Structure 1
């Protein structure tokens, strides 16, 4: 089910916040209203809320970075540095030292950005600590689907992914929050 038809310029910002919209639906609305379509889901929601409030596009500061085509070799004792970017050369470096299964997981990305004074060797050690940690990672607000599915299975380990998706699809079509509740299972009856 989709809430696509509900997304019009006649919505109030409060009404907009009551529904779940897919990123593609947000982008489609932005295109139809002449708003920027770049960025993540939160960026799009911010633009739409501003537009619904004022009737005008959000003025966004555009910062152009000067490209320095400097190529340098990454070594184990190299510092991560400020403004760490998860680029292809860094992915290749980590794959070489960690293995083909390497992924820039969110928690690891946050660690990299928070520790500019650390070395790549420190980063490799931190990566293994993070992936071997039994601690649940926090799911950021924009990933409501992932949070819903996690909460669904914490409460229903006997149900299937198809069941979870049916409940999610029903939940997101309703007005209000998108958090899992036991009553969501009624759609399976």
Structure 2
């Protein structure tokens, strides 16, 4: 079965069986006047609910707490409801170097460790980077493409990115999961 067009008459189960880009989900939401913000998973659940019930879910917007931080120090405490701001980015780049980036693990650490110092955060960052070098990292669920490509290369040493992408495009056109399987190579 080829991937069906995403429209308001699509069955919820068929919708969930196929892969849609986030930009397709956003376009559908805008067309149907459904809130079009949030993660891919949130959009998918909102659309599935709409396809099942015809009801457009109201989403409560999370109130962001603004950080009015003009000066950070190593002894300063990580605030509650931490937000990765440009001020924080500049601080960490100054203390870690230009290679610094707010990777997912570090963002999670910051959000879970309010009250600890920025020195603790820098130490945690270095540990996260070291762990990343030593171990295969977990890719979050919403990054199906990244997971697929990594698993493709794990199973096909020396293969080309062009082949990996061709297999990915084949896989996402099928109903069901989007995880790499050896059988996907038949498309090459």
- TM-score after normalising by structure 2: 0.92
Distance 1:26 1:15 in 2: 15
Query: How many angstroms does 1:117 deviate by?
Result: 2.3
Shift of 1:63: 4.0
Q: Which residue of 2 aligns with 1:31?
A: 30
Structure 2: tracts of 5 or more residues without a match:
none
**Gaps in structure 1 of 5+ consecutive residues:** none
Cα distance between partner residues in 2 of 1:113 and 1:64: 16
Match of 2:126 in 1: 128
**Residue 103 of structure 1 aligns with which residue?**
101
Structure 1 64/127 Cα, relative in aligned 2: closer, same or farther at 3 Å? closer
d(CA) in 1 for partners of 2:66, 2:144: 35
Q: Give secondary structure in 2 for the equivalent of 1:6.
A: coil
Paired residue for 1:157?
A: 157
Indicate the SS of the match to 2:106.
helix
Superposed CA RMSD = 1.6
Structure-2 separation of matches of 1:64 and 1:142: 24
Change (3 A) 1:103 1:159: same
Q: For 2:81 and 2:107, how far apart are their aligned partners in 1?
A: 11
Partner of 2:141: 141
How far the C-alpha of 1:81 sits from its partner, in A, is: 2.1
Distance 1:129 1:65, change over 3 A: closer
Are 1:13 and 2:5 an aligned pair?
Answer: no
2:181 counterpart residue number: 181
Question: Which residue in 2 is equivalent to 1:77?
Answer: 75
Q: In the TM superposition, what is the alpha-carbon distance from 1:9 to its structure 2 partner?
A: 1.2
After superposition, the Cα gap between the structure-2 partners of 1:175 and 1:118, relative to the gap in structure 1 and judged at 3 Å, is same
Aligned twin of 2:86: 88
Cα distance between partner residues in 1 of 2:117 and 2:66 = 24
Per the normalisation by structure 1, the TM-score is 0.92
CA contact (8 A) 1:107 1:137 kept: no
Residues 115 and 66 of structure 1: is their aligned pair in 2 closer, same or farther, counting only changes over 3 Å? Answer: closer
Show the counterpart of 1:172. 172
